[in-house]
A and B are shown apart, each in its own frame.
Chain A
């Protein structure tokens, strides 16, 4: 019964979304305030209904209701509760339901928190959000119904893919969806701004916090996914340039570019057309990602061609929304008035370069991801575009970005002084050089790693150069310094942290060059040295989990005769699907990690093991956390508090900032 009410709620949500697609927009066009007032309450109600549908599906999974096709195909009564819940979105139908849930969540959030927005703009934003919602609800109900029942329910389900039975599944998809479906709101803002003709700094001010929320979630989601892959795939890689990963990286790059140019639009009313375009682009890439992942086109172009219902439906949604918004854009963009002027060498100019590089990165990923599909569809030739291609094309774009980042931060708005900015980052540059030299002398190793760590240190120090200079300027009175430090706007602090986070990630990437790897056969009692550590395989034993059996290789990690950690790498076998997966044993020691993964033991009681020492590897993900923290700091800046008029604030004798 609960399942049926959930299904009904979903249909009701579609009906309400259709109503909400039309009435507020009509009201905004005709100036009818009553019709516009429909939008907020309808948006909240849509969220409530989809939320209920989602609850109903979760309930069916939790109680293992095997009369549902979706539960039979993806669940098992012996599966632990957390995977019963996360299994809801570990499949096509459920993940689409999560998709629309997040979409409606953002609609409801705008309805609740953007009361101070111009009413017609808000009505149009929510209407556009409902257009997207209607399209995807229709998609779910027509092609991917999670509530489909079975006439003759089986006694047991097929279980979830073992690779997905992991805490990663509980966190990664929801975060990722909050990120890239969250970008729908910037799309809706752009479309609404084009419709109402309100394309100004006010628009940028309202759209920026939402973009920032989506960006933070996307950053965390991607980092989480990368760590998940790192510990389950068993060979220590953390980024694969897989089309599915690229599908989330492209919106991230576009959203990052958008955040930067929206800052220009908000402060200087410049780059308006470009900001709107990026807002459309970011969500278009999210839609493209959804198409790539959900249509099956990635597995094989032929598989897609043989059962195209879902793919064609999403493709139609994609074409409608991207094409529609671009048409609207073409119609309106020409009439936009030119905004603030700026010299080529200025903060704005630097942000233009930033956008050029980021969008080129994005185009590179896009071409690399779609090219094999297009080529196969057009000529039948099969090629592979993998990590070596992306590493080769991505690095020349990202390195200049890192080099220019601190310089751009130190340029003044409107008209900057390049030599002055270069002088301000001289300390950071010096720190980078000293660090690279020190590493080269002390540790040696691959030249690329040495240079990249120097670059990373330069970025980290350079991110704080401007703030440091302002806080510690001239008078070295402790009280003044403290009050200045407290007076630093959180937005500036957030920027510094986010940039530094990128530097920290780069440092982690650079350090992979100093890693060590050993592949060997071990018997219990065997020892092996790696990095500064000694590993001893203590014992091999089998153990039964709730829905799997595993063989564990208890390994003791020690240094200088003292035990540092005990890890339990394992291989697990899931009888329901007759599939196995490895579970790496990871000991985090300082910022580095000892990583062990084992295969099934042979008859002689020996086991193949793959052992890594990965110095500073944790920095890769810590960097992402710092980036997200920076985003959060920025978000908490009072200028972002929507609806609170910005009050002039007195800052204790802050010297003229370089912005």
Chain B
């Protein structure tokens, strides 16, 4: 498999002609089907490229897949059916948005866990630290001391 991919990649690199991502002859006459094809293609990975969707890729394989997607659409398949068909053929690797399942729950849950964990930590530390002192009313002793201090204010300071 990996040697095949290497060969395909090599062939692509040697291809002297610049191809286009979506080529004019691929476009379907039905504008609504075409729009669906574009949206689907943007979520499917070009298997021989690095992190490019088949909608963006210039590779020959991506073109074949684009045509395949359009063929299935023409045949009346739903988006979900086409995805399922491609996953059956190429595995989850082809989906740029990985499915939610046992092996990917941490991926999808990661952001939420990070957010909740962070929020919990903030609440925990905020509770542990004392609140602002000014929000605590003065005790009777403090009030008495404050008043005596204020009363003292007019007197001259100790010469030190």
Contact = CB atoms under 8 A, between A and B. Distances in A.
B114 A521 contact: no
Contacts of B85: none
A521 to B, nearest CB: 5
The 4 A-B pairs at the shortest CB distance, nearest first, are namely A386-B96, A367-B110, A388-B97, A363-B114
A167 B42 CA distance: 29
Nearest to B90: A382
Given A382-B93, A388-B42, 5 more contacts: A367-B114, A381-B92, A384-B95, A386-B97, A414-B132
A581 B130 contact: no
Interface stretch (B48-56, B137-145, B147-155): B48-56
A371 B115 contact: no
25 contacts: A234-B21, A234-B58, A235-B56, A242-B50, A298-B50, A341-B130, A342-B132, A343-B131, A360-B111, A360-B118, A381-B103, A382-B92, A384-B92, A384-B93, A384-B96, A385-B96, A385-B98, A387-B96, A389-B107, A392-B97, A397-B115, A519-B23, A571-B18, A608-B24, A610-B20
A599 B23 contact: yes
B88 interface: no
Interface string B29-59: 0000000000000110100001111011010
Interface of A: 233-235, 237, 240-243, 298-300, 302, 338, 341-344, 352, 356-357, 359-360, 363-364, 367-368, 371, 375, 379, 381-389, 392-393, 397, 414-415, 519-521, 571, 573, 578-582, 597, 599-600, 608, 610
Interface residues of B, number: 52
B21 A235 contact: yes
Given A360-B114, A367-B111, A415-B132, A352 B56 contact: no
A233 B52 CA distance: 11
Nearest to A240: B51
A360 to B, nearest CB: 4
Q: Is the interface of A mostly helix, strand, loop or mixed?
A: mixed
Given A300-B2, A356-B119, A393-B111, A367 B91 contact: no
B69 interface: no
A519 B132 contact: no
Contacts of B53: 386-387
Contacts of A520: 24
Given A356-B122, A359-B114, A393-B111, A386 B93 contact: no
B106 A599 contact: no
Nearest to B123: A344
A359 B24 CA distance: 43
Interface centre among A234, A386, A388 (most CB of B within 10 A): A386
Interface string B100-122: 00011011101100110011001
